[in-house]
Structure 1
């Protein structure tokens, strides 16, 4: 590859960005732990929270975790890109992957919400 067309992030900026991503991952992990604990405490309240709400909150947390992780992985991969062509390929792959993932998540969430609504509408025996 010609030195004139080489894409390179300055070392200081790269080190700072990597430290920022590491901090973002740690912050996200703390947030996720807290969100899961909150969801767990809501579920323990018994009759006020239905099983459907548990499924919905569990899925929403799992989706959030997956989406944030994908975004962090994408951002970190950009730091390692060798040239503009690789940046464009990484971006295209990320966008396509996220579109597929979001479509799957929307479909699954729709099914869970429908199931929860049907369960809630059932007459109590």
Structure 2
């Protein structure tokens, strides 16, 4: 006997499709992020880009990647959720975790910006 309410059951084909869609989107993002990292690393040859600015850019890109990866992790978990309660629990955990992460990232990025303006002054 299943404890999952049949009204909330997602057909396996739809669940498989959603899982594959999340995986494809994640791979596409990884390709984009790789290209962005490559472009950012090529700025070292440009005399108008200071090392401090490059550090800020690298840090910002790293944070963006981490945040998008966290969202993809959530999406993969949501696709596998058994019922609405689990969906709400996963979402609440994600929001709580991301708020703490964003707060830390903001502090770290602010410090990097401060260092880059101090170096360039």
Instruction: State whether TM-score is above 0.5.
Output: yes
Unmatched 5+ stretches in structure 2: none
For normalisation by structure 2, the TM-score amounts to 0.92
Could you list the per-position Cα deviations for residues 27-56 of structure 1 after superposition, in whole angstroms to 9, with x for gaps in the alignment? 0111011001100111222x2111111111
CA distance in 2, matches of 1:98, 1:28: 19
For normalisation by structure 1, the TM-score amounts to 0.89
Could you list the per-position Cα deviations for residues 60-86 of structure 1 after superposition, in whole angstroms to 9, with x for gaps in the alignment? 111011001000000110011112211
Query: Do the aligned residues in 2 keep the contact of 1:9 with 1:79 (CA within 8 Å)?
Result: no
Query: Do the aligned residues in 2 keep the contact of 1:55 with 1:112 (CA within 8 Å)?
Result: yes
CA distance in 1, matches of 2:30, 2:4: 39
CA distance in 2, matches of 1:77, 1:103: 24
Query: Do the aligned residues in 1 keep the contact of 2:9 with 2:82 (CA within 8 Å)?
Result: yes
Could you list the per-position Cα deviations for residues 85-106 of structure 1 after superposition, in whole angstroms to 9, with x for gaps in the alignment? 1111101000001101111111
Residues 28-67 of structure 1 mapped to structure 2, 5 A cutoff: 28-45=29-46, 47-67=47-67
Q: How many residues align?
A: 120
Unmatched 5+ stretches in structure 1: none
Q: In the alignment, which residue of structure 2 is the partner of 1:98?
A: 98
